[in-house]
Each structure stands twice: as structure tokens, then as C-alpha cells.
Chain A
Amino acid sequence: MNRIATILVMIGWFLVSQSYSKSADDLAQVQLDSKKAGPRAVENLTERAIVRDYRSAWTSLSHALEFNVFDPIEGPFAGNAKQMLKGTIARQQESGLRQRFLDQNHKLEVVFYAPEGDVVELHDTAEYQQQILDGGKPIHDERVVLHYIVLMTPSADRWVIRQLQAVPQF
């Protein structure tokens, strides 16, 4: 009887952990439109890779800024974007603030794809619930729509974000 109960608990834990990790991935919905890309057309495989890696980057960014940890942003970000995020996390650690980005929806448009395929510029119309917390106390909770200019470059095994800059409009 004890054994059966143990097995049931293990199965239950497994299912819960799967659903928990799934919800982290489901956090960011990403769609990509490459009709206006130029001078180079975006290949199908590249489109899929960019969507996958952009989603993964925002999931990592959300985790990093919610828990004030550096590790999640090491892989998906490079250059200025990484430096900026590291600065944000460091300042948040000092001030005790945290940010949450919930229920994210990103509509990406490729506006430039270099002739050699080594850099892509995207416009991201990002909609999400932004929460800012001081310790555990929410001080700001708002559904926002922001416009991001994004520069991504291919690295060894993925596309990384080099520049992530919000602008009032495209």
C-alpha cells in the first residue's frame, strides 16, 4: 500500500512539474511576419529558429527579472542587450525590486535581413501584463503595449538578441 502511494505521489509530482515548466514556455506567444524582409528573404528554417529563440529569450528575461538572477540571460543575449539586462538585474538586487512579465504576446516583423544573413532587425509589438514589486508588494500592475526594436545575430547554436530597445512608435 505504501509503495502504491509512493508511486502515485511520484506520478503526481511529475505531472505538476511538467505543467509548471510548460507554463513557463507558454508565457511568451510569438508570431513572425517576414513579408517585408530585405534585402535577403528569410528562409523557412531561419523563421522558425528566430521565433523559437526569441520566445526563449523573453522567457529567460522574465525569469531573470522576476528572481533577480543573471544565469538565464547568459545564453539568449549578447552585446548591449546583455549588458543592459545585467545592469537592470544588479540595480534590482540593490533596490529589492522585481518585475514580472505575464501573459506575453509578441508580434514580430522583419524589417531588415542582411545579405549574408548575419543580422536581422525586427520590430516587436509586445503586449503583456507588467507587474513591478517592491519585495513582495506590488507597486505597479498594468497591461502594456510596447514597441521594441530588436537586433538579433546568429551564434553557435541559436539566434541571440544584441539590442532590445523600446520606442514610442515604429
Chain B
Amino acid sequence: MKFALPVILVVVLAVLMIVALTEAGSAHGTVGIAAGSATYGLTPKPSTPEQSLTDLLVEAQRRNWDQALSFVSNVSASSDKDSFIQDWTGSHGSLRSFSNLESFELRPLHVTNDEAQMRVHLRWTTPVGPIDDVRDFHLARKGDIWKTVWPKRQEPSVPAQVIPVTYLRWDLVSGGADDEWGSKNVDTPHVRIVSMNAVDTAEGAVVMGEVVNEDTIPAFVNVNATLLDGSGSAIDDESSFDKIAHILLPKQVTAYRIDFPAFHLKNVKNVHMDVKATLVPASADPVIGVMNQKIDPDVQGKSVLRGELFNQSGQTVNIPHIVASFYDNNGQVVWVADGYVEQALLPQTSALFSVEFPKTLAAKVQNFHVVVNQYSPGRS
């Protein structure tokens, strides 16, 4: 009896070791290990486009820039190295600056003796969750070695200028702890849910709609929903989390989406909505225009809404966040999608964005609306 615990511990340890050893071979999704290449450093020179691009991506993942540059044909250590690095690591406090390349998968699109086109699916870990990116790379053979032809990125050139800031700003004064009862009365902002639509999807139930700030001051808004069964008991409650533009200026409208994974509407008799608004300091600057919005399929055939964000102000927007609502021909919200732009928006410059929505809804969507949220550290 007294040996039972030690025996159990030894058995568990042995099982865990066996699991670890058997899983070591399939390095799919493991940080720093490219698929099929667990023993990098001992491999021969990149004689295939797949090998060359894999080597480049592994070195970029490890941030060994000099090694990575050796797999690129048109960028040398002396020229454009900073631009190459910035392309990977981001700049100006963008979302990319806080991200790491977790894993990648590549497949050839078109390969000849001397040239190849490869499509790479990059998976980034970021503070806002995983972000998938698809990029096409062009490779060329020089002698018996394949190298990537790096697409030169045009850095937006922002001329020096003075841009006056004349937009309104709201500050919040909390009042002292000793204020007499009734004297420090500032009501929370008045916000209202203007629409709600509950649908079933393959991943679970989704509640979405729009909310408006009806007040004359900014509001920090969150929308919660509770699914109720026939007896009025709560089945589950969830929040909009980041599928909403949290800071709403006066009369601003945002879409929201609340996901209930693994729950379906067949058991739901009612949905209780609750919108919470709190006072928050805010500024009407920066103004970001959403230009040239269009729906079309991306390179993988997915339905996306794409466009361009234009920063009309004089300050950098570090992390732009897009919340897009899609409407049918009755004006009802049929889907809400959100996405982040990984590069910072410099003053008076633009950046492309795209948000995906379910292909099954593509035929239903007649209209859409995009709201831009933005996060800039140290600024309200």
C-alpha cells in the first residue's frame, strides 16, 4: 500500500515521456520548428525553392537576419537590410511589433527550372490572438541555389509639416472622495442597442447587431448577451469582447457580435441583451477614412471586404482595428466581422485592410458598413 503513490508517479512519468518522444517528429505548429525540418543546420544548400524559402522563413522566425538575408537575392547586408527587417518586425508600435511568427506552411503555385512562385500561409501570434497571413513569394535560381526575390516595400513618405489639432477632446474629472452625497452626479453615457439578430452557425450561436451612442459625450461600450431557455434560466452568457468598437463618440454607431461556441439556438427561447456604458476620456482625433471598400474573393477564394484606411490626422495610429457589419436587402445585420491592420497608420497615409466573412452569406450581403477603432499606447 505504501508503495502505491510512488508507483503511480513513475507510471505517469513514463507515459508522459513516451507521448513527448512520439510527438517530437510532427513539428507542425511548433514555434521555431518548420514542418519537416527538425534538424536544421545540418541540411545541405537550398537546391529547391521549397528548401530555400523554408530556410529563409526559419531564420526570419529566429530573427537571424544575416542568415535570412543570405537566402534573399536582391537585398544585401548593406542595402535595404533595415527595410527587410522592418517588414518582418514591424515599426511605429504597430501590431506586428508585438507579434511572433509561430508557424508557416508553403506550397508551390508554379515552378519552372529557373523560377518559382510559392504561396506561404503564415501564422502570427499577437496580443490580440492568432493572425493568419497569406503571401506569395517569387524565387529565382542562380547556379544551383534558389533564392527569394524580396518584394521591395514602398515606405510611405510623410513630408514634415505642422497639422493643427482642432478636434474636440473630452477629459474626465472624478471628483473627491469627500464630495457630499448627491453633489457629484455625472450620469453614465446613454447608449442604445438599435438592432439584434441571433443566428446559428456551424461553430455555434451568434448574436449580432448595432448599438448607438445617443449621448453628447463619449462612451466606453460593451454588449453582453444571455441565452435563456424555456424556463427563463440562463444557458450561457458572453460578451462582445473585441468584436465591437468600444469607444463611441456622440451619435457614433458600431456593430457588435457575440459568439456562443457549442451552443445552438434550438434550446434557446429568449436572449437577454445588456449594454454597459461607462464614462471615458476621449478625443475626436484621429479621423480615419475608410476608402474604396469592395467585396471580392481573395487569392484563396474566400469572401472578403477590402479597402483602404486613410489617416487624415497628424498622429500615428499604432494599431487600427476594423469592425465591419454586413446587411441584407432589408437592412438587417447578417454578419459582423473584425480584423486588425498589422502595420501602423502614419499621418496622412493609408494602409490596406481586408476582413473575411462567410462565403455562404456572400449572396445575401447587399450593403456593409465599416467602423475603425484604434489603439495607441499611452493615448486616450
Contact = CB atoms under 8 A, between A and B. Distances in A.
The yes or no verdict on A and B being binding partners is yes
Interface of A: 79, 153, 162
A131 to B, nearest CB: 33
Nearest to B181: A79
Contacts of B181: 79, 153, 162
A162 to B, nearest CB: 7
A164 B181 CA distance: 15
Interface magnitude class on chain B: under 10
Contacts of A153: 181
A107 B190 CA distance: 36
B187 to A, nearest CB: 9
A79 B177 CA distance: 11
Interface of A is mostly: strand
3 contacts: A79-B181, A153-B181, A162-B181
Contacts of A79: 181
Contacts of A162: 181
A162 B181 CA distance: 9
Interface of B is mostly: loop
A164 to B, nearest CB: 15
Nearest to B187: A116
A1 to B, nearest CB: 11
A13 B37 CA distance: 58
A79 B179 CA distance: 10
A79 B181 CA distance: 8
A50 B181 CA distance: 20
A132 B181 CA distance: 33
Interface in B173-224: 181
A153 B182 CA distance: 11
Nearest to A78: B181
A149 to B, nearest CB: 16
A153 B185 CA distance: 13
B222 to A, nearest CB: 16
B179 to A, nearest CB: 11
A130 B181 CA distance: 32
A58 B173 CA distance: 34
A70 to B, nearest CB: 17
A46 to B, nearest CB: 15
A120 B181 CA distance: 14
A153 B181 CA distance: 10
A153 B184 CA distance: 14
Nearest to B185: A118
Nearest to A153: B181
Interface string B103-145: 0000000000000000000000000000000000000000000
A128 to B, nearest CB: 28
Interface string B158-184: 000000000000000000000001000
A83 to B, nearest CB: 12
B231 to A, nearest CB: 16
A167 to B, nearest CB: 21
A18 to B, nearest CB: 26
A79 B182 CA distance: 11
B182 to A, nearest CB: 9
Nearest to B1: A3
A110 B24 CA distance: 69
A144 to B, nearest CB: 29
B180 to A, nearest CB: 9
A15 B181 CA distance: 44
A22 to B, nearest CB: 25
A81 to B, nearest CB: 11
A77 B68 CA distance: 65
A162 B182 CA distance: 12
A161 to B, nearest CB: 13
B334 to A, nearest CB: 33
A5 to B, nearest CB: 16
Q: Which 3 A-B pairs have the closest CB atoms?
A: A79-B181, A162-B181, A153-B181
Nearest to A162: B181
Nearest to B180: A79
B274 to A, nearest CB: 12
B261 to A, nearest CB: 28
B360 to A, nearest CB: 39
A33 B126 CA distance: 54
A71 to B, nearest CB: 18
B301 to A, nearest CB: 50
A45 B181 CA distance: 24
A120 B21 CA distance: 66
A19 B105 CA distance: 60
Nearest to A80: B181
Nearest to A151: B181
